[in-house]
A and B are shown apart, each in its own frame.
Chain A
Amino acid sequence: MKRNNLNDIVLSSRIRLARNIEGLNFASKLDLASANMLPRKVYEALGSSDTYLLYRMKDISEIDAHVLKEKHLISEDLIFNAQTGSAIINERENVSILVNEEDHIRLQCIERGFSLADAHENLRIVDNLLSKKMKFAYSKKLGYITACPTNIGTGMRSSVMMFLPGLAIFNNLEKCLNAIARLNMAIRGVYGEGSSASGYIFQLSNQKTLGLTSEQIIEAVEASCGHVIEAEYRARDSLYKTSPSELKDKIWRAYGVLTNAYSLTSSEFMELFALVKLGIYYDFIKTNNIERLDTLLVNAQSYSISSLSGKNLDTDERDNYRASYVAKVLSQITKR
């Protein structure tokens, strides 16, 4: 069993900053003309600092919008605001700026693995760039002013996406999550607020945004994740010690289905993929490209699969395409 890095538990780290333009009403009371103007203004403020693309929700297809969501680059709320919701995304697809979501501007940076500080540093550059060109609503007492008081102050949500099959299978997850809640952290499913936790993937993030510095928020999230990571490793050890044959059988059956199925639903994929990923952790299954393996988590989602096929697939066709796509990738980069 390898423990040389935390990538087998921490999938990605994300920092999000909420900002609003001074003098403009917030989203719920914003006039249409101003809302229409905002995306272009933000886009221009970025200058030529990086190669950015502007996506207006009303101009892109339903599939393209949901692919961006499956990549965690935009939110469901942004898609919901089809009239003026827009996203400005850089070429590397680690920085995305949502315009006309809950707040005027939401900057986010998402990085692979346990790397909140890197994500924060990247975002600070973008934030400074924008704050030189536009005046953000800010008060000395309350910090950055946001549409909802739950984001006021730093406007910062610092979140870590974690893969926790050990705790979940061992039924220790609830206990662990309750402990985390007492540390003022929130736990959500893979696609944020209100989403369910499929594939044993959970997002841990800070709840408080005021009264702490950005660094303190990041440290607190990292510390909480540290507890969860330790618990997850312990659970994986116990899982192995309790019934190694049963565990191996379960993992190899999952691998068998994923490499041979003719049709595969999204939820079945998430469930079985989690077991394969666990098998890689235990070294039952070998891979030469863990990064590509992890991209399956996005690429096998419903809209991404349709997009990859290049066709508008119905549900049956999509499940068939998913099965063959997953089998092809697994056979290229994994072996028993």
Chain B
Amino acid sequence: MQCDNCKVNKATYHTIKKVNGQTTQKHLCGLCHEKMSVGMFGDIASIFSGFKNFLGTPSKNTRNVCSHCGTTSDEFLQSGFLGCAKCYSDMQDLILPIIQQVQGSLGHVEDAPVSRSVLETDDFPQLNEYQRLKRELEYAIKEENYEEAAVLRDKIKEIE
């Protein structure tokens, strides 16, 4: 099938929209699709509908459903939304290439906030202020962040 827009390339992005009972179809090649989706009022959902063709048939070892929330790959490709954080690891063969395509990157480069990193090392979200400060202090010392450690130590002393 030819691209509706340039009428030269092969169409690889297909969208079907139904508005008020009227169905419209759009078939675009990769280039034109990119051009149009970043245009004035680009339709985010259509980015995802294209990936099915882009990725072809999923390989056998790819999970198509999340073991935690039950979201399926089809549901995701249709809505653009995942059901839970676990979807990212369970369906990574499907999702990571999409992230790479949309974001142009697969790596977060920013440091997590200190408190966040501390919490990440354990599973006790119900820490009281004292316990939390203690853990933050441990972390600050481990990270050789002595300025922060001094402030935390003073706060802990106050509570003690």
A residues within 8 Å of B by Cβ? 20, 22, 24-29, 102, 127-128, 131-132, 134-143, 145, 147-150, 152-154, 177-178, 181, 184, 186-189, 193-197, 207-214
A82 CA to B88 CA, complexed, in Å: 28
Count how many pairs of residues, one from A and one from B, have CB atoms less than 8 Å apart in the complex: 125
Quick one: CB contact mask for B81-105 with A, threshold 8 Å, 1 for yes?
1111100100000010011001111
A195 CA to B145 CA, complexed, in Å: 47
Which residue of the partner chain A has the closest CB to B108?
A143
Which residue of the partner chain A has the closest CB to B119?
A135
User: Shortest beta-carbon distance, B52 to chain A, in Å?
Assistant: 15
Given contacts A211-B105, A213-B110, 18 further A-B contacts (CB under 8 A): A25-B83, A26-B83, A27-B81, A28-B79, A127-B113, A132-B132, A139-B108, A142-B88, A142-B106, A145-B88, A147-B82, A149-B80, A149-B99, A177-B39, A193-B41, A208-B105, A210-B99, A210-B107
- Within 8 Å CB of A213, what residues of B? 109-110
Interface centre among A142, A149, A152, A189 (most CB of B within 10 A): A149
A selection of 9 A-B contacts at a CB cut-off of 8 Å is A28-B79, A28-B83, A128-B115, A132-B132, A142-B88, A148-B82, A149-B103, A208-B104, A208-B105
Q: Assess whether B120 is in contact with A138, with CB atoms less than 8 Å apart.
A: yes
Q: Secondary structure at chain A's binding surface: helix, strand, loop or mixed?
A: loop
Interface residues on B, range: 35 or more
Q: Secondary structure at chain B's binding surface: helix, strand, loop or mixed?
A: loop
Q: Assess whether A25 is in contact with B40, with CB atoms less than 8 Å apart.
A: no
Q: Assess whether B71 is in contact with A149, with CB atoms less than 8 Å apart.
A: no
User: Shortest beta-carbon distance, A125 to chain B, in Å?
Assistant: 11
B residues within 8 Å of A by Cβ? 38-42, 44, 47, 68-71, 79-85, 88, 95, 98-99, 102-110, 112-113, 115-116, 119-120, 125, 132
Q: Assess whether B103 is in contact with A209, with CB atoms less than 8 Å apart.
A: yes
Q: Assess whether B102 is in contact with A150, with CB atoms less than 8 Å apart.
A: yes
- Within 8 Å CB of B85, what residues of A? 20, 22, 26, 137, 139, 145
Q: Assess whether A128 is in contact with B113, with CB atoms less than 8 Å apart.
A: yes
